[in-house]
Amino acid sequence: MVGNLLKMKSVRESPVSYFLPIGEEEVLMNELLNKKIRIKFKLQINCIKCGRKTNKSFAQGFCYPCFISAPETEECVLRPDLCKAHKGIACDMEFAATHCLIDHFVYIAYTGSIKVGVTRHTQIPTRWIDQGATAAITIVRTPNRYTAGLIEVALKKIMADKTNWRNMLKDISDIDLSDEKLKAQKYLGKEHKEFCIENSETEYINYPVLKIPDKVKSISLDKTPVVEGILTGIKGQYLIFENGEVLNIRKHGGYLVELSF
């Protein structure tokens, strides 16, 4: 099976079902657990936006021209507080209407440690699954990305906003985040109190992981063009192999590969 990689699709079940897009096909990766798989990089990368060949991938799959011009890579993707769509300013206002000028959640997730994040209301629970969260809870709902970004910036003073991928892969805790939610809501200023959610509860996510490795080593197709081994788990966007090696699929968006099993 040969085709360009895209990030894995997921269905929230127990455990999560993962589908790996390769070209025009999708592979249910759960069925490959405890089996030997082989991923061979064909030394070609195509932009996930325009399809052109590129020697280097930017922002998880874009060629450089798309990286600097596509709405998917605008600065507010990483920094919601910098979004200007509510002022009518964006490189693509049609895109902004469906990605920035809609309801957003600020949430707390457990990904090996507690973190705060922002996502569109349409991306729950996909966002949590992509981050490998075992538990998550929404704390505020805002009418646009910018407002959610301001709240995230405020909460970053009392909690982290990054995930340590090693801790995420090795940790299976499913803690109750209710107290963290109340702590965050009490910390917010009066201008943001109206967005607080009263009735949200901790949601838990179970991943298809047969074995948790003692040590994990991230590998890339650039340095290891042939990845081969027994698949023992899938979490976040990572494939976990029996020897502790892990491959971040999303990082390799647009890579042309051959998958065999």
Does residue 118 sit in the same domain as residue 28? no
Does residue 119 sit in the same domain as residue 191? yes
Does residue 131 sit in the same domain as residue 235? no
Does residue 116 sit in the same domain as residue 159? yes
Does residue 134 sit in the same domain as residue 168? yes
Q: How far apart are CA 224 and CA 202, in angstroms?
A: 39
Domain range holding 106? 68-204
The counts of H helices and E strands in the chain are 7, 14
Show which of 161, 186, 204 is a domain's final residue: 204
Which residue type, as a one-letter code, is found at position 261? F
Does residue 219 sit in the same domain as residue 199? no
Q: Phi and psi dihedrals of 2, rounded to 5?
A: -125, 140
CB-based contact 213:247 (threshold 8 Å): no
Is residue 125 classed as helix, strand or coil in its secondary structure?
A: coil
> Any idea which residue has 């910390």 for tokens?
187
Q: Could you read off the pLDDT of 233-249 as tens digits, one per residue?
A: 999 999 999 999 999 99
Does residue 140 sit in the same domain as residue 96? yes
Does residue 161 sit in the same domain as residue 198? yes
- Per-residue pLDDT at 11 exceeds 90: yes
Does residue 167 sit in the same domain as residue 217? no
Q: Could you read off the pLDDT of 29-67 as tens digits, one per residue?
A: 999 999 999 999 999 999 999 999 999 999 999 999 999
Does residue 51 sit in the same domain as residue 111? no
Does residue 198 sit in the same domain as residue 218? no
Which pTM does this prediction carry?
Answer: 0.94
- Give 37's strand partners: 229
Does residue 74 sit in the same domain as residue 185? yes
The overall average pLDDT reported for the chain is: 96
Mark 228-237 as b/e (b = at least 16 C-beta within 10 Å). Answer: ebbbbbbbbb
pLDDT at residue 23 in the model: 87
Domain count, the chain: 2
